[in-house]
Amino acid sequence: MKRYAQASAIKVGVVGYGGAFNMGRHHLNEMAKAGMTPTAVCEIDPERRKVAEQEFPGIKTFANLSEMLKKSDVQLLAVITPHNTHAKLALQCLKAGRHVVVEKPMAVTTAECDAMIAAARRSGVVLSTYHNRHWDGCILEAVKRIGAGAIGEIVRIEAHMGGWGQPRDWWRSSKTISGGILYDWGVHLLEYTLQLIRAEIREVSGFARRGFWAPRTAWKEDTNEDEAFAVVRYASGQWSTLIISHLDSKPKEGWLEITGTEGSYVMEGGTFQLIQHRDGETVITRGANPPSEGWRLYQNIADHLVQGQPLIITPEWARRPIHILDLACRSAAQGRALRAKHP
């Protein structure tokens, strides 16, 4: 793989400039913060292209990806389009010899992930996924405390998010486009979980309930599940669960509840709760999490391309939560547990 003399020599761009969350601007700013040079934007909406040109004076904009790959010498592209387009667009970039960072989730299916990994290997380029939450303060603190033995050995991890209420009418609520209710926040919660349980995934069981909210939404029959649940069994004997719900009238505390042999740890965005046992007494410690360090993702990619530093969010790492989500959806449809398949 080609090495660059310095980060500023890496010309970067985005595929999809985004609207609601200004994701195109965010990615380009994060790349620039890591020392790389914003060069190109691909966006089908002419109004968003104008915004990009205003926010990044001198940047080149393109209406389609084929034109960008033909006319621009951009070297690293972030794909920030809807979930079901990630694989197709990333494959086009990879086959053209460009480095790629795909917004999370990496893709919708395991097969798409495997195709992307194979294409990156053939072209000798970098493939990663924008798991910037790998460096969220909440998981940094959890990994530090649990790694130091605060709750003994991890037995299980329960990840949960949601409440009772109709889903928003946007593309993330479409099963076809998003992959389903588990894919949006669920991929974050799984990535947290997999930082704490490093063992090989053995088996996944999925459960889903559909049809309550669908008649009231714009997507109708293509609306995401009302609730979905996954159980993951690991080679270590540990297990984890994930539930995302629009039916839960009594949501659980926190985002992750990690149960160990000697205590429990409840993790959410801003705070943590540590429950331990000392001399026959139950001791509860509450605290604030440190600031998040999501900027480390693009810094690591720049360091990898310039200095050869190890890539932290490898495509194989990003494939793991997608494989769980894919198996969970198929398991729910088939009504049986499915064995994991490793590359």
| CATH code of 100's domain | 3.40.50.720
Q: Does 2 reside within a domain? A: no
Q: Do 204 and 269 belong to one domain?
A: yes
Q: Do 34 and 113 belong to one domain?
A: yes
**pLDDT for position 127:** 98
Domain count of the fold of the chain: 2
> How far does the chain reach from its first CA to its final CA, in angstroms?
22
Main-chain dihedrals φ then ψ at residue 271, nearest 5 degrees = -135, 165
Q: Does 149 reside within a domain? A: yes
Q: Where are the beta strands (DSSP E) in the chain?
A: 11-15, 37-42, 60-62, 76-79, 99-103, 127-130, 154-162, 201-209, 227-234, 239-245, 256-260, 263-267, 271-278, 281-288, 338-339
Q: Do 149 and 184 belong to one domain?
A: yes
Q: Do 235 and 334 belong to one domain?
A: yes
Q: Do 113 and 164 belong to one domain?
A: no
Main-chain dihedrals φ then ψ at residue 276, nearest 5 degrees = -130, 170
Q: Do 105 and 215 belong to one domain?
A: no
Q: Does 318 reside within a domain? A: no
Q: Do 275 and 150 belong to one domain?
A: yes
Q: Does 123 reside within a domain? A: yes
Q: Do 164 and 52 belong to one domain?
A: no
What's the whole-model pTM score? 0.96
| CA–CA gap between residue 37 and residue 74 (Å, rounded) | 9
**pLDDT for position 20:** 63
**Kind and range of the H or E element at 175?**
helix 175-178
Main-chain dihedrals φ then ψ at residue 158, nearest 5 degrees = -110, 120
Q: Are strands 11-15 and 37-42 parallel, antiparallel or unpaired?
A: parallel
**pLDDT for position 32:** 98
pLDDT in tens, 136-171: 999 999 999 999 999 999 999 999 999 999 999 999
Tens of pLDDT, residue by residue, the chain (343 residues) = 889 999 999 999 999 997 667 899 999 999 999 999 999 999 999 999 999 999 999 999 999 999 999 999 999 999 999 999 999 999 999 999 999 999 999 999 999 999 999 999 999 999 999 999 999 999 999 999 999 999 999 999 999 999 999 999 999 999 999 999 999 999 999 999 999 999 999 999 999 999 999 999 999 999 999 999 999 999 999 999 999 999 999 999 999 999 999 999 999 999 999 999 999 999 999 999 999 999 999 999 999 999 999 999 999 999 999 999 999 999 999 999 999 998 8
pLDDT in tens, 296-329: 999 999 999 999 999 999 999 999 999 999 999 9
Query: What's at 179, amino acid-wise?
Result: G
Instruction: Tell me which residue range forms the domain holding 220.
Output: 134-292+323-339
Q: Do 56 and 177 belong to one domain?
A: no
